[in-house]
Structure 1
Amino acid sequence: MKPISTSAVLLLGWALTSCFAARESRIESDYSYAGDFKHYRSYNFLESNTTPDTSQLAATVREAIQTHLRSQGYRITARRPDLLVSYRLFDGAMRFTGYDQPELTQWIKQETVESEETPETEKQGYKRVRYLLSDGTLLITLIDRKNGRAVWQGYASNVSAPAGPQAMAVMRRAVRSIFDRYRVLSEEYQSQEAQLR
């Protein structure tokens, strides 16, 4: 049997990668104008009342989320976290409602947090956008633990892949793409950066 050359392996890897890249996917996110993003420091995962998903795929998503939040200065804690993280993988195509908003980082720079006391004339309002998400959607939601409201959600469609290592790679890539839309450093991380300047 003739050995396979390195260039043949690289070419095959590139071909497989380009097939996945060619699949049309949608990565979107939206947020609450009431989110106090500059003051979040810690998080934990929202525990489900139903049987927890202990699959390797769920573990991969959870680890990827932890990696991204840690790199942004958030620390995981079981005691009174600022944010609760929820994630879910949906099979099949689905219609989804999102919102047309300024980029999150632009909104945070305005240093405005809407509340019940914000006059109606000063509230931003939410312009709904309907999406048709293709097979396999990963949805990640950040919830403000104090008020129990979702403050940010990111989603990636077309994240289905055959079971095995390939599915794990697709999920890690999807989580990374989603968190590319949440470029918010924790309050402690921001304070350290300010002190270094």
Structure 2
Amino acid sequence: MKLTFTLLVSLVALAMTGCFASREARVESDYSYTGNFRRYRTYDFITGQGLAADTSRLGEVLREAIRTRMRVQGYRPARSRADLLVNFRVFEGDMRFRGYAQEDLTRWVTTGVVEDDETPKDERQGYKPVKLLLTEGTLLVTLIDNKTNRAVWNGYASGVTVPPGVQGEVVLKRSVRSIFDRYQIFTEGYLENNGQ
């Protein structure tokens, strides 16, 4: 009985530590006015050298957490010609980052205005840069329009402390969930088709 109680207390403490570590993170996002978010339906992860080729347990935890969120929002994985390419990176240490002061992405998407190279300069939204100091441990997720090869959305959580083992996996999953709470774009028709 004492062993069960000790195990239960340890699990609760572990879960609470994960909650606190995740809660401390500062979560922000910004987007490109060239992003045609209404047409994106499929995604794939960037592959290659370095972190994109991360085959560690934590790298796979990040990929699975991102896959889960993309699926929940109606996106399908595609091996060729995906609409969006997903890239992620974990930075150690403090870093200066340039973000942008923008209205909520969901609200902006409802306007239906997408800028391109042909948009006259006087009709462009214009970016209002904001200098941010991201603290020790930043998880950055970037969505890239595969057709234009431009980053269309960045979501980032700073102050993410990733302890070793299972607790680190929990922190990363919660951080991905918090980041994607800033990207509440569902594929066109997905909510109507799944509401039936």
Could you state the TM-score of these two structures normalised by the residue count of structure 1? Answer: 0.89
Note the C-alpha offset of 1:48.
2.2
> After the TM superposition, which residues 54-93 of structure 1 pair with which residues of structure 2 at under 5 Å, given as runs?
54-93=55-94
Aligned in 2, Cα 1:19/1:104: closer, same or farther, shift over 3 Å?
Answer: closer
Residue equivalent to 2:5: 5
* Identical amino acids, percent of aligned pairs: 49
1:30 aligns with 2:6: no
Give SS of 1:173's match: helix
Note the C-alpha offset of 1:161.
2.2
Note the C-alpha offset of 1:162.
1.9
Note the C-alpha offset of 1:2.
4.4
Residue equivalent to 2:160: 159
- 2:65, 2:177 within 8 Å by CA — same for their partners in 1? yes
Aligned in 2, Cα 1:187/1:30: closer, same or farther, shift over 3 Å?
Answer: same
Counterparts of 2:142 and 2:179, CA distance in 1: 11
The worse-fitting range, judged by mean Cα deviation, of 79-88 and 41-50 is 41-50
Counterparts of 1:54 and 1:98, CA distance in 2: 29
Counterpart code for 1:173 = R
Q: Deviations over 1:2-46 (max 9, x none)?
A: 446377457635653564256x32100000001000110000001
Residue equivalent to 2:175: 174
Counterparts of 1:108 and 1:84, CA distance in 2: 19
Counterparts of 2:40 and 2:135, CA distance in 1: 32
Counterpart code for 1:62 = R
CA RMSD of aligned residues (A): 2.3
Counterparts of 2:131 and 2:151, CA distance in 1: 19
Note the C-alpha offset of 1:187.
2.6
Aligned in 2, Cα 1:11/1:73: closer, same or farther, shift over 3 Å?
Answer: closer
Counterpart code for 1:102 = E
Aligned in 2, Cα 1:37/1:10: closer, same or farther, shift over 3 Å?
Answer: same
Corresponding pairs, count? 194
Counterparts of 1:68 and 1:131, CA distance in 2: 26
- 1:41, 1:188 within 8 Å by CA — same for their partners in 2? no
Could you state the TM-score of these two structures normalised by the residue count of structure 2? Answer: 0.89
